[in-house]
């Protein structure tokens, strides 16, 4: 495994041949290594990835997995994966061949994760565990790994959702009274009365509204990825691309805001970062003397309002842009029992009128 020194720069480089996945022989050159050992390690790990065998290091498998994911998932999802892998997983298994990682290794790792992250929610711990399992599923599918050691262990965390946090209509009225900024007033009104996601809100332009017919077209999503500019993507799922019918009063609020600030048709409507938006929300919640909620909880607030007024799960799913009605029921099913007494009373009236 020869490597070479660039005497002029004082750095090391490696150059070698490899065969890609199509069977084509290619030459690879990589420069700028501080030490000879770093150059050799790069060549060795690169060739391991190209060979794609079960005895490759875990870190090599992760690199292949992320390369595969990069072109198949949204940038925000890719960023989340890399954060979880870098922070909780890769460093632990880094140099172990993937076919040497046992269920006992997984249990030891799970214990470390739980011990070091006691402040994390059960859902987040579950997502870390799931991400590790996805790596081994990938190895089974493409590199003939015999089994997924994660699936042979009990999971950590739980997929059980935390209790929903939201504003009732009365609480929202109390909250919106203290909002003294035109932009944020419009933002919170839109969030509460439409239930759209934060990214969908931040991507809105005047041209996404049909003011004559009181319609809002959700076709875009805006995400902030660490150390980069905001990125416009498609919404979360195909069902998230939808048309929302607006109450006329909300149409007027948005139209007045656009006219007052002379916002061009294709300009971003609300130029505010998620971090600043949450800080302003926190400030107004404290002023209104209410319990703290997140931006996403406005979505829950809208759903609970619709449930309270008797709208069906199907209609709510369509308005929120859920991929399936099952998603709506899974999140909000515990709110529906509140309507059971009303339903029974209506059935009683129907029976009395027979």
Q: What integer is the mean pLDDT of 207-222?
A: 96
Q: What integer is the mean pLDDT of 247-266?
A: 96
The CATH homologous superfamily for domain 169-342 is: Intergrase catalytic core (1.10.443.10)
Residue 288: both structure tokens together: 């209104």
* Domain ranges across the chain: 4-143, 169-342
Residues 137, 140: Cα–Cα separation, whole Å: 5
Contact 150, 126 (CB under 8 A): no
**Model confidence at 142: pLDDT above 90:** no
Q: What's residue 22's pLDDT?
A: 60
Nearest to 105 by CA among 94, 117, 119, 121: 94
Half-sphere exposure of residue 227: CA atoms within 13 angstroms, side-chain side: 2
Q: What's residue 29's pLDDT?
A: 87
**Model confidence at 88: pLDDT above 60:** yes
Mean pLDDT, all residues of the chain: 89
Q: How confident is residue 289, by pLDDT bands cut at 50, 70 and 90?
A: very high
Q: What's residue 227's pLDDT?
A: 62
DSSP for 102-132 reads -HHHHHHHHHHHHHHTTTS-HHHHHHHHHHH
Residues 297, 277: Cα–Cα separation, whole Å: 13
Q: What are the E-state strand segments in the chain?
A: 4-6, 11-19, 25-33, 209-210, 215-218, 221-223, 231-233, 242-245
Contact 200, 220 (CB under 8 A): yes
pLDDT digits (tens, 9 = 90+) for 310-334: 888 899 999 999 988 888 888 887 7
Question: Does 4-143 match 169-342 in CATH topology?
Answer: no
Residues 96, 77: Cα–Cα separation, whole Å: 26
CATH 1.10.150 fits 4-143, yes or no: yes
Nearest to 204 by CA among 193, 213, 216: 216
pLDDT digits (tens, 9 = 90+) for 177-193: 999 999 999 999 999 99
């Amino acid at each position: 495994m020869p490597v070479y020194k660039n005497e002029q720069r004082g750095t090391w480089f490696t150059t070698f041949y490899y065969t890609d996945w199509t069977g084509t022989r290619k030459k690879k050159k990589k420069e700028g290594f501080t030490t000879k050992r770093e150059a050799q390690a790069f060549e060795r790990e690169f060739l391991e990835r190209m060979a794609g065998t079960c005895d490759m290091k875990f870190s090599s498998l992760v690199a292949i997995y992320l390369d595969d994911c990069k072109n198949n998932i949204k940038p925000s999802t890719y960023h989340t994966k890399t954060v979880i892998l870098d922070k909780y997983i890769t460093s632990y298994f880094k140099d172990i061949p993937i076919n040497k990682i046992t269920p006992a290794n997984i249990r030891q790792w799970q214990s470390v994760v739980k011990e070091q992250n006691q402040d994390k929610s059960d859902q987040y711990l579950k997502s870390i565990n799931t991400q590790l399992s996805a790596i081994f599923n990938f190895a089974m599918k493409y590199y003939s790994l015999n089994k997924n050691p994660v699936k042979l262990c009990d999971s950590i965390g739980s997929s059980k959702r935390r209790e929903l946090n939201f504003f009732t209509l009365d609480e929202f009225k109390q909250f919106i009274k203290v909002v003294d900024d035109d932009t944020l007033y419009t933002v919170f009104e839109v969030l509460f009365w439409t239930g759209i996601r934060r990214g969908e809100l931040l991507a809105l332009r005047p041209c996404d509204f049909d003011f004559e017919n009181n319609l809002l077209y959700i076709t875009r999503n805006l995400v902030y990825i660490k150390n980069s500019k905001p990125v416009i993507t498609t919404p979360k799922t195909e069902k998230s691309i939808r048309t929302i019918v607006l109450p006329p009063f909300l149409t007027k609020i948005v139209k007045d805001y656009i006219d007052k600030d002379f916002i061009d048709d294709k300009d971003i409507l609300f130029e505010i970062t998620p971090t600043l938006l949450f800080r302003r929300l926190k400030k107004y919640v404290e002023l209104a003397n209410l319990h703290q909620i997140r931006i996403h909880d406005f979505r829950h607030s809208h759903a609970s309002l619709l449930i309270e007024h008797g709208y069906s799960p199907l209609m709510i799913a369509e308005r929120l842009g859920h991929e399936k009605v099952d998603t709506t029921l899974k999140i909000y099913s515990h709110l529906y029992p509140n309507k059971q007494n009303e339903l029974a009373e209506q059935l009683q009236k129907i029976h009395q009128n027979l």
